[in-house]
Amino acid sequence: MRSAGCGHEGTTVTRLRCADWSCKGTTVTRMCSAGWSCEGTTVTRMRCAGWSCEGTTVTRMRSPHHAGTDCPKENKNVHALEGVFSAACTLEETTLHVTDNMDLHILDHRLRVISISKNGLVNFTHPLIKLIFLRSRTRCKFFSLTETPENYTVVLDEEGFKELQPSEHLMVEGSIWLPLNVASNGNASSSSQAVGVTKIAKSVIAPLAEQHVSVFMLSTYQTDFILVKEKDLSVVISTLEEEFNIYKEVGGESVPIHCQDVPNGLQKNGKEAIQPTVHPVVIPKNQFCVMSLDPDTLPSIATTLIDVLFYSNSPKEDAANQGLDCIKFFSFSLIDGYISLVMDTEAQRQFPADLLFTSSSGELWRMVRIGGQPLGFDECGIVAQISQPLADSDISAYYISTFSFDHALVPEEDIVSVTDMLQHQRKDPAAS
Amino acid sequence: MRSAGCGHEGTTVTRLRCADWSCKGTTVTRMCSAGWSCEGTTVTRMRCAGWSCEGTTVTRMRSPHHAGTDCPKENKNVHALEGVFSAACTLEETTLHVTDNMDLHILDHRLRVISISKNGLVNFTHPLIKLIFLRSRTRCKFFSLTETPENYTVVLDEEGFKELQPSEHLMVEGSIWLPLNVASNGNASSSSQAVGVTKIAKSVIAPLAEQHVSVFMLSTYQTDFILVKEKDLSVVISTLEEEFNIYKEVGGESVPIHCQDVPNGLQKNGKEAIQPTVHPVVIPKNQFCVMSLDPDTLPSIATTLIDVLFYSNSPKEDAANQGLDCIKFFSFSLIDGYISLVMDTEAQRQFPADLLFTSSSGELWRMVRIGGQPLGFDECGIVAQISQPLADSDISAYYISTFSFDHALVPEEDIVSVTDMLQHQRKDPAAS
């Protein structure tokens, strides 16, 4: 069902794109936008809940903009929540907030991007286990660890960074990175149903690429973080403030911010657009899933997760993977209390089936790994190059940058068309 | 009840010292010796099950000599089993085996004794977590880690030792140590009810001290390991073979061994007995418990155990302990698949109450720490000095040697008499 413009009470709908009006009692597997009230609705996956939705059972809610994070927790019915919100309003108190703009939040984390060498990981087991499992012992609020065949990429805030001792096995990217997060408004009349980086391709990724702002993407189960260098912040704001209401999170408060508020404001990079490099891509054969976990059950998978993260890097296991054209890729993140895991189905089998959860459709994803040589941190347009055509085709994509390469995850059923698209792009870069 | 010489069917007994005859249907919390049949009996703690005990439910069995380890596992009713036995006989097949001697087993492990400095532990988190939690990744079968205020003591076999990289934070005692284990015979007419090192004080500890054999003790929930240096083995055998049937475990088999079988056999140290040093002791105020855990539930306490072992060593927490005259002491061992934990009640509170188990009487223990200066590994008679008077008074004691000091644990209710005894010993060393 594309649009439920009027009341369809009692209907069972697998995919509902827009529920502009009331649809009380409806069972919806996937709801794109619940612009109005939908009391009593059972929604497996809800993109935007712009209005009140008292009594609704939502398995996955991407953007409950007005509701705020505190409500769904009280409601206890939302398993995963995309977007980070500071307002502690209740669902009942929600009021209409009409705007043509979407909201962009500059989150209150100053991040470092680090690589740990493969054989150097043993030296960092102690701080990493602390950061992953012992929340009471650290003030780190943003932590991500991704294993690739080359190395381990760690993205973490300054509190977490303090835990890591300098070492020959550690490479620290020189910049401070700030994570941005797009919160779709309830009434944002997006025509796209795609999730992930695809939905911000035209509004965020492309404009930043045009302004020569390098981005480091980190998609998680809950949301997509766009990391930009702190020094580029004024350019970022001046570039995006036409399209977005921009807020800076400061100590739990969302403060509106404008270009003139930022030192070196109003400044754009202003370089001429140059033809972006078309990087070679690899499409490994393994299938990936993007999962989450109740933080309270993290101890239950501790030994398995420790085994997979810290002890699975034997030459034998790697060789077995390589032989099958598979890639070693495992990502764990714990950001503002939310856990996200990206792993292939081989790794997934090691975990108890009842603790990790993914969207009810149980999608599997295929990887497009971008880059022949390490990409570095200065080149612009890499994410744009792949996310724009995905947006044109309305294909969802998670996107995870690492220290050396970038990784897009697209739905398994779309991998053929994505491959075709990329081959076309390589032959005719100017067309993209 | 001290002795149930005849039938007391249906009686409920808290402590039964000798059940020489049948006591069908009896519920016994602690049974010292079940010399005859006790079908249908529910026993929480059984010291010696010399005869058949079909259908018996035993929470803790110290020495099922004739039954062998395989039976209780099939029976599924024994939670902890003291002693290591190779025979795979069934309870039904048990036959009377009369001998005046007890059995001493030289176990099939070649051990190293290591210390890791307090601030060096972070460098060993990776291998230690592997040895503790990831049994499928290591062939180490004997592992013990004890934290004391000075350092961490690790006792482990050669497979485990391979996992530890040399480091300035690691001190390795030069000897190979062999663990001995006494298996009480069913009909051993011991008059003692005490457990732990006390029951082997006169038969093992004292004779070895007289022959100048240095021992390193490691009591666990399940049994007491007497570690001797490999170079002393011939002296050990010649010293103990009058009192014991000595077996060497070789690839799962128990092979009888005699003095002449050992290189340098028949050799005794033969030094003259010298007056042993009386070491100062400290009696910290904390109460300890000696616990065990089903190895299958080890993952459930993984994050707590990791926290306690690897992250609790902050100056702040240590200072808090010191102020109360308490000692930092925590011991974990995983030996031949059996887990033993010794911790104070403060640490115990951090663990889920339903997973760790101890004897149903829930005894608490007080510590006597022996040594003002680090004791070294060559002095003889240290264990004997404390275990002999304990044996004279029939007071149970666990005994845990570490790299620097020795630690005896005695029942809380006996600490006053033990303290008196030790003060007397200091005043008049010759009398002890």
Q: Work out the pLDDT band at B183, boundaries 50, 70, 90.
A: confident
% of chain B exceeding 90 in pLDDT: 51
Joined tokens for residue B321 = 């302990």
- Give the H/E segment covering residue A209: helix A206-210
A329 vs A82, residue with greater confidence: A329
- Its pTM stands at 0.74
Enumerate the residues of chain A whose CB falls inside 8 A of the CB of residue B122: 126-127
Handedness of CA B184, B190, B193, B194 (dihedral sign): negative
> Stretch B157-162: mean pLDDT, rounded?
96
Cβ burial of B143 (10 Å; 0-12, 13-18, 19+) is buried
B350 vs A99, residue with greater confidence: B350
Q: Residue A103 in contact with residue A247, Cβ under 8 Å?
A: yes
Of the candidates B342, B340, B321, the one whose C-alpha atom is nearest the C-alpha of residue B408 is B342
Of the candidates A361, A357, A362, the one whose C-alpha atom is nearest the C-alpha of residue A339 is A357
Enumerate the residues of chain A whose CB falls inside 8 A of the CB of residue B137: 307, 311
- pLDDT score of A43 more than 60: no
Distances (CA, A) of A238 to A105, A201, A204, A211, B169: 14, 18, 12, 10, 54
Asked if the Cβ–Cβ distance from B129 to A134 is below 8 Å, we say no
A355 vs B333, residue with greater confidence: B333
pLDDT at B430: 58
Asked if the Cβ–Cβ distance from A303 to B298 is below 8 Å, we say yes
Distances (CA, A) of B239 to B102, B204, B217, B244: 14, 9, 18, 10
A358 vs B19, residue with greater confidence: A358
Asked if the Cβ–Cβ distance from A129 to B299 is below 8 Å, we say no
- pLDDT score of B71 more than 90: no
Lowest mean pLDDT among A92-96, A226-230, B409-413: A92-96
pLDDT at B223: 93
Lowest mean pLDDT among A291-305, A377-391, B53-67: B53-67
Q: Work out the pLDDT band at B189, boundaries 50, 70, 90.
A: very low
Minimum-distance CB partner of B122 among A126, A134, A298: A126
Side-chain-facing half-sphere of A89: CA atoms under 13 Å: 16
Lowest mean pLDDT among A70-74, A425-429, B24-28: A70-74
pLDDT at A379: 85
> Stretch B224-245: mean pLDDT, rounded?
94
Rg (CA), chain B: 21
pLDDT at B329: 96
> Stretch B345-359: mean pLDDT, rounded?
89
Mean predicted lDDT score pLDDT of chain B: 77
Residues of B in CB contact (< 8 Å) with A are: 121-123, 125-127, 129-130, 133-134, 137, 298-300, 302-304, 306-307, 310-311
Q: Work out the pLDDT band at B252, boundaries 50, 70, 90.
A: confident
User: What is the C-alpha separation between B374 and B115, in angstroms, rounded?
Assistant: 12
pLDDT at B192: 59
- pLDDT score of B216 more than 80: yes
- pLDDT score of A414 more than 60: yes
> Stretch A413-431: mean pLDDT, rounded?
83
Residues of A in CB contact (< 8 Å) with B are: 121-123, 125-127, 129-130, 133-134, 137, 298-300, 302-304, 306-307, 310-311
Question: Residue ranges of the alpha helices (H) in A18-67?
Answer: none
- pLDDT score of B62 more than 50: no
Across A16-30, A54-68, A323-337, which has the greatest mean pLDDT? Answer: A323-337
Enumerate the residues of chain B whose CB falls inside 8 A of the CB of residue A126: 121-123, 125-126, 310
- pLDDT score of A284 more than 90: yes
Joined tokens for residue A199 = 């939905």
% of chain A exceeding 70 in pLDDT: 67
* Gap between the terminal Cα atoms of chain B: 32
Handedness of CA B97, B11, B46, B368 (dihedral sign): negative
Q: Work out the pLDDT band at B297, boundaries 50, 70, 90.
A: very high
pLDDT at B258: 85
Q: Work out the pLDDT band at A85, boundaries 50, 70, 90.
A: very low
Strand, helix or coil for residue A188 = coil
Q: Work out the pLDDT band at B353, boundaries 50, 70, 90.
A: confident
- pLDDT score of A130 more than 60: yes
B386 vs A77, residue with greater confidence: B386
Side-chain-facing half-sphere of B209: CA atoms under 13 Å: 23
Minimal Cα–Cα distance from A83 to chain B, Å? Answer: 29
pLDDT at A315: 60
Task: Return the amino acid letter for A162.
Answer: K
Across A3-7, A350-354, B219-223, which has the greatest mean pLDDT? Answer: B219-223
Of the candidates B329, B429, B420, the one whose C-alpha atom is nearest the C-alpha of residue B381 is B429
Asked if the Cβ–Cβ distance from A303 to B307 is below 8 Å, we say no
In the block, residue with structure tokens 């712009």: A50
User: What is the C-alpha separation between B91 and B394, in angstroms, rounded?
Assistant: 31
pLDDT at A74: 35
Residue A233 — φ and ψ, nearest 5°?
-60, -40
User: What is the C-alpha separation between A309 and A343, in angstroms, rounded?
Assistant: 11
| Interface TM-score (ipTM) > 0.95 | no
User: What is the C-alpha separation between A350 and A346, in angstroms, rounded?
Assistant: 7
- pLDDT score of B290 more than 90: yes
Residue of B nearest to A300 (CA): B300
Q: Work out the pLDDT band at B322, boundaries 50, 70, 90.
A: low
- pLDDT score of B105 more than 90: yes
pLDDT at B87: 30
pLDDT at B313: 75
Enumerate the residues of chain B whose CB falls inside 8 A of the CB of residue A303: 133-134, 298-299, 302
Query: From start to end of B163-230, where are the E strands?
Result: 170-172, 177-183, 215-219, 224-229
Asked if the Cβ–Cβ distance from B299 to A304 is below 8 Å, we say yes
User: What is the C-alpha separation between B162 and B142, in angstroms, rounded?
Assistant: 13
In the block, residue with structure tokens 């929480």: B44
Q: Work out the pLDDT band at B152, boundaries 50, 70, 90.
A: very high
Q: Work out the pLDDT band at B175, boundaries 50, 70, 90.
A: very high
Minimal Cα–Cα distance from A159 to chain B, Å? Answer: 17
Q: Work out the pLDDT band at A427, boundaries 50, 70, 90.
A: confident
Across A224-228, A238-242, B254-258, which has the greatest mean pLDDT? Answer: A224-228
- pLDDT score of A219 more than 80: yes
User: What is the C-alpha separation between A339 and A361, in angstroms, rounded?
Assistant: 19
Contacts of B423 (CB under 8 A, 6+ apart): none
> Stretch A208-221: mean pLDDT, rounded?
94
Asked if the Cβ–Cβ distance from A302 to B302 is below 8 Å, we say yes
Lowest mean pLDDT among A321-325, A422-426, B39-43, B214-218: B39-43
pLDDT at B249: 94
Minimum-distance CB partner of A126 among B125, B298, B307: B125
**DSSP annotation string for A230-274:** GGGHHHHHHHHTTTEEEEEEETTEEEE--GGGSTTTT----PPP-
